[in-house]
Amino acid sequence: MTDYVVYDVFTDTAFGGNPLAVIPDASALPEDRLQKIAREFNFSETTFVYPPQDARHTARVRIFTPTMEVPFAGHPTIGTAIALCDLGRGSDLVLELGVGPIPCRVDAGAAEFITTHPLQVTHSIDVADCAACLSLPAQDIRTDQHPPVMASVGLGFVLVALTGRDALSRIQTATDAFRQCADKYPSELDFAILAYTRAGDDLQARVFAPLDNIPEDPATGSAAAALTAYLSQREGRSLSLRIAQGVEMGRPSLILARAEAEGGAVSSVAIGGQAVRVMQGRLTL
C-alpha cells in the first residue's frame, strides 16, 4: 500500500484554497496507474514524488491533472514542498519538475518557489473568442492595459483583463467555445483562461480549464506566475502582487507573486502561499 496526504493550498484554513493530493513515495506505483490515480482523486492536480535524478536535489516530482501530465504547476509545487517539509525533508528544497529544478523555501506553514523559466507569449487571442468562452459581452473585456494573450512561464494560460468585479462574477463558461479555441490556439494545456480585475497591486482572479475536467480552479500558481511576469514585462519594472482567487467557489485563496525585472526583461518569478493538511491515507493498490 502507498501513503498519500491531501493539502489545501494557498490558504491557512481547511476547506479553502486548492486541494492537492501528494504521493510522497510513488516508486512502487506502476506507470499505467498514475493517470488513473489522479483521475480518482479528481483534484486539479495530484503529485507523485520520486528520488531525485541529481543527488543534490530533494526529489523528482511529476504532476498530473485529471486528464494529463503537465511539466509545471504552482499549487502542486507549493503543496508538495510543504508536505515534504512536514515529513522531515527539510525547509530548503529543490524539486525536479518537467521545466527543470525549482528551489523552494518553507517557513511556518508557508512556502515560496522561484522560477527563472523565460516568459513566452505564444498567441494573441481575439476578444470575441474570449467573450464567447466566458459568456460575456465583448465590452466587459479590457484591452487598454493589454490585449488577451496566451502567456507561459512553464504552462500556458490566456490572460484576460475585465472591466470590474461585476463582470468577473457573471462569467459562465461555454465549453464548445473552449473547444473551438483549443483548436485555434494550440498549447500544452487544453486552453485555460485566467480572467482578472486589478486595483493597484491587488487582483481578483478566476481560472477556468473545462477541457481538462477543471470547470473552475480555486487557486492557480502557474497562471499567477504567467500573469505577474507578463505584467512586469509590459510595465518594465519589478512587481509584487496579491492575487485573490476561488472566492466565487467558496474556496478563498491568496497567492503572493513577485516578478524581478532587469533591463525591461523578467529575470525571475516567485510564487508564495500557505497550505494546511486536511487528509491522509493509503492507496490500496
Counting as low any pLDDT under 70, the low residues of the chain are none
What architecture is domain 2-114+274-283?
A: Roll (3.10)
**pLDDT at residue 264 in the model:** 78
Domain boundaries, the chain: 2-114+274-283, 120-271
Among 45, 96, 112, 216, the active-site one is: 45
Average pLDDT value for the chain: 96
**pLDDT at residue 120 in the model:** 95
Would you mind telling me the total number of residues written for the chain in this entry?
A: 285
- HSE (CB half, 13 Å, CA atoms) of 264? 1
Pick the CATH number of 120-271 from 3.40.50.2020, 3.20.19.10, 3.10.310.10, 3.50.50.60: 3.10.310.10
45 catalytic? Reply is: yes
**pLDDT at residue 189 in the model:** 77
Q: What is the DSSP letter of 199?
A: E
**pLDDT at residue 279 in the model:** 97
**pLDDT at residue 183 in the model:** 96
**pLDDT at residue 285 in the model:** 80
Handedness of CA 170, 173, 174, 177 (dihedral sign): positive
Handedness of CA 156, 22, 77, 207 (dihedral sign): positive
Burial class from Cβ neighbours inside 10 Å (0-12, 13-18, 19+) for residue 232 reads buried
Domains 2-114+274-283 and 120-271 share a fold: yes
